[in-house]
Structure 1
Amino acid sequence: MSIRFNHTIVAARDRHVSAAFFTHLFGLPEPTVWGPFVSVRLDEGVFLQFAEPGINDIQMQHYAFLVDDRSFDEIYARILQGGIEHWADPQATLPSRINTNHGGRGVYFRDPTGHGLEILTRPYGSAA
Structure 2
Amino acid sequence: MPAAFNHTIIASKDRAASARFYQDLLEAEQAPSWGPFTNLQLTDGVLLQFAEPPVEIQRQHYAFLVDDELFDRAHAMLRERGIDHWADPQMQRPGETNTEHGGRGVYVLDPAGHGLELITRPYL
Q: Same fold (TM over 0.5)?
A: yes
Distance 2:121 2:38 in 1: 29
Distance 2:72 2:14 in 1: 28
Query: What's the counterpart of residue 66 of structure 2?
Result: 67
- Measured after TM superposition, the shift of residue 89 of structure 1 is 0.3
What is the DSSP-based 3-state SS (H/G/I as helix, E as strand, rest coil) of the residue aligned with 1:34?
coil
- Measured after TM superposition, the shift of residue 51 of structure 1 is 0.5
1:104 aligns with 2:117: no
- Measured after TM superposition, the shift of residue 31 of structure 1 is 5.0
CA contact (8 A) 1:106 1:118 kept: yes
Distance 1:28 1:47 in 2: 10
Distance 1:54 1:111 in 2: 19
User: RMSD of the TM alignment (CA)?
Assistant: 1.1
CA contact (8 A) 1:39 1:49 kept: yes
The structure 1 segments of at least 4 consecutive aligned residues displaced by more than 3 Å after TM superposition are: none
| Runs of at least 5 residues in structure 1 that lack an aligned partner in the other structure | none
Q: Identity percentage over the alignment?
A: 56
- Measured after TM superposition, the shift of residue 2 of structure 1 is 1.2
CA contact (8 A) 2:28 2:43 kept: no
Counterpart residue identity of residue 76, structure 1: H
Query: What's the counterpart of residue 76 of structure 2?
Result: 77
Q: How many residues align?
A: 124
